[in-house]
């Protein structure tokens, strides 16, 4: 697959307005952009690329919002257009606007996840948008930082590999390129999957600022998310047994 065919999460954060529902109330999200929020977190059944599929469907389920985090899963089955992302269901940390990356000290996060079927074309990834405009829409940014924890079925990030780096105690291949006008940086494990991950995402931004001229003092945090981009395959269920994130 050519990397340029991967649309990734530039549109993956599109959020339609939705009513705030009671925290800890279990929610079944099957409609396009069905949404839940509570306890400082949100959950979106983000089927932004579903029209590229010849067949398929997806539902996302809130399993709990406790222990200062969120638990959820999503079940999908997509066929057709194997190089097109069909969805990026995600959990997000709700963040106050007007915080530049330079003003943030820490972005601690932990995730434990699993797939019940790995014979699929998909990834598992963090997605963080930043923009000079503090009121930028959720659906894109000036910059996108992705931390890939898995890639199945030979899918690739946008752009090309430029170097390898050790961050958060792990080795990553750094890919970079453009999705339209947005600069995308993707940190990808050279091999294997990372199903239990704890890190300070600010460390990745510090590296980009130091070695790749990322303008931390003028970029505002827009979204801070984790999820899975589904291409084809299934039925498959992606479980997030625990996800926590914060901005300090």
Catalytic site residue 203? no
Is the backbone peptide bond immediately before 137 cis, with ω within 30 degrees of 0?
no
* In contact, 244 and 196? CB cutoff 8 Å: no
53-82 as b/e, with b when 16 or more CB fall inside 10 Å? Answer: beebbbbbbbbebeeebbbbbbbbbbeebb
Given 22, 42, 118, 144, the catalytic residue: 144
Question: 220 burial class (0-12, 13-18, 19+ CB within 10 angstroms)?
Answer: buried
Secondary structure letter of residue 7 according to DSSP: -
Measured CA to CA, the distance from residue 36 to residue 228 in angstroms comes to 17
* Cβ within 8 Å of residue 206, ≥6 positions away: 216
Tell me the H-state helices in 62-214. Answer: 202-212
DSSP string, 55-90: EEEEEEEEEE--TTSEEEEEEEEEES-TTS--B--E
Catalytic site residue 42? no
* In contact, 246 and 111? CB cutoff 8 Å: no
Given 42, 118, 203, 229, the catalytic residue: 229
**Active-site residues: which are they?**
144, 229
């Amino acid at each position: 697959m050519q990397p340029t065919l991967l649309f990734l999460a530039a549109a993956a954060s599109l959020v339609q307005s939705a009513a705030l529902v009671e925290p800890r109330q279990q929610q079944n999200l099957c409609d396009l952009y069905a949404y839940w929020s509570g306890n400082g977190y949100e959950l979106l059944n983000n089927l932004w690329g579903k029209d590229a599929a010849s067949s398929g469907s997806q539902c996302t389920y809130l399993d709990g919002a406790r222990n200062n985090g969120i638990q959820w899963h999503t079940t999908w089955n997509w066929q057709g257009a194997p190089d097109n992302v069909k969805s990026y269901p995600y959990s997000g940390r709700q963040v106050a606007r007007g915080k530049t990356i330079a003003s943030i000290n820490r972005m601690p996060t932990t995730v434990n996840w699993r797939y019940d079927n790995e014979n699929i074309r998909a990834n598992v990834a963090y997605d963080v948008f930043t923009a000079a405009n503090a009121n930028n829409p959720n659906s894109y940014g000036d910059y996108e930082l992705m931390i890939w924890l898995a890639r199945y079925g030979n899918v690739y990030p946008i752009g090309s590999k430029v170097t390898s780096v050790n961050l958060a105690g792990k080795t990553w291949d750094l890919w970079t390129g453009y999705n339209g006008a947005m600069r995308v940086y993707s940190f990808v494990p050279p091999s294997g999957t990372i199903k239990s991950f704890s890190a300070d995402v600010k460390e990745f931004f510090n590296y980009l600022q130091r070695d790749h001229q990322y303008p931390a003092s003028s970029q505002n945090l827009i979204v801070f998310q984790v999820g899975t981009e589904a291409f084809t395959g299934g039925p498959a269920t992606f479980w997030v047994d625990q996800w926590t994130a914060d901005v300090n």
